[in-house]
Amino acid sequence: MNGKRYSRQRELIYAALKGTDQHPTAEMIYQWLKPENPNLSLGTVYRNLNLLADEGAIARMAFPVERYDAETRPHPHFCCQACGSVYDLSLPYDKALDEQALLASGHDVTGHELIFYGTCAKCKDVH
């Protein structure tokens, strides 16, 4: 059985995600871990990220490319159109927006994701 090895890799991947605020793609996590873990494959990273996301331990977000977040509580994001970085925004979750969506549609609304786009502070400084 390879269960031990797989759960060790899952912990490694989870720790990498916990230790960053970059909202990485699977590819980014793979590149970070590969030097110290030569046996790791990109497929393994994808598989474990999807398992963690299915368990609710991490969040999976569909940006231009799929990204992952160790912070599972709902929070808004900013996506830089110049460098592709994704940042957390410290704005309160807007429950009123869920109510407006319910009123506008009659659908049962369980939540929403908010993504802002533009040029991040770092990229802005370059120009």
Applying CB under 5 A, does 53 fall inside the site for Zn ion?
Answer: no
Least distance (Å) from Zn ion to the CB of residue 116? 12
Name the minimum Å distance from CB 74 to Zn ion: 9
Smallest gap from residue 117 Cβ to Zn ion (A):
11
| Three-class DSSP labels, the chain | CCHHHHHHHHHHHHHHHHCCCCCCCHHHHHHHHCCCCCCCCHHHHHHHHHHHHHHCCCEEEECCCEEEECCCCCCCEEEECCCCCEEECCCCCCHHHHHHHHHHHCCCCCCCCCEEEECCHHHHHHC
Out of 42, 83, 89, 115, the only residue in the binding site for Zn ion (CB under 5 A) is 83
Nearer Cβ to Zn ion, position 28 or 40?
28
The single residue among 15, 65, 82, 89 that binds Zn ion, judged by CB under 5 A, is: 82
Number of residues that bind Zn ion (CB under 5 A): 9
